[in-house]
Amino acid sequence: MAEHETEWEHKDKMWTYLIFAFLFVGIIIAINVVWKNPSGAESAFKNFLGLPSYVLALVLLLLGALIFWVGLKMEPDWPEALGAAMIAGSIAWFEKIVGWSHFDFGGLVVIPYLIPLFAFVLLLMYAVRNSR
């Protein structure tokens, strides 16, 4: 019985590492495309599906919340982390849409950067407490 459990744990780790490897390669490719042609990437991103940027940020937020919620029901911890990162990214995106200067409370320019980080950490703390 214990051997069967360790075999499943091994397969879970294998799938987790495989998914992270594909995500890592995708991120590297995206960074390379943006680095080579930033103006082209910006115009393509702005015209993505013809939607306004706030709708795309909202889609990212909702998709991240869905992945986070599903991750709470699963054994591996990576879906919660991915969902939390997507939610934090959408918060940063909304801050950029509104304007970074609107969030520098008390003249501290670091506050807009800390808000998404704080949301990410809070979501991970919640996931650790309430995950299976």
* Per-residue pLDDT reduced to its tens digit, 28-77: 888 888 888 888 877 777 776 677 878 888 999 999 999 999 888 877 77
* Residue 47 DSSP SS3: coil
Contact 71, 127 (CB under 8 A): yes
pTM, 2 dp: 0.67
Residue ranges per domain, the chain?
1-46, 50-132
CA distance 130 to 73: 9
Q: Which residues fall within 8 angstroms of residue 39, CB to CB, at 6 or more apart? A: none
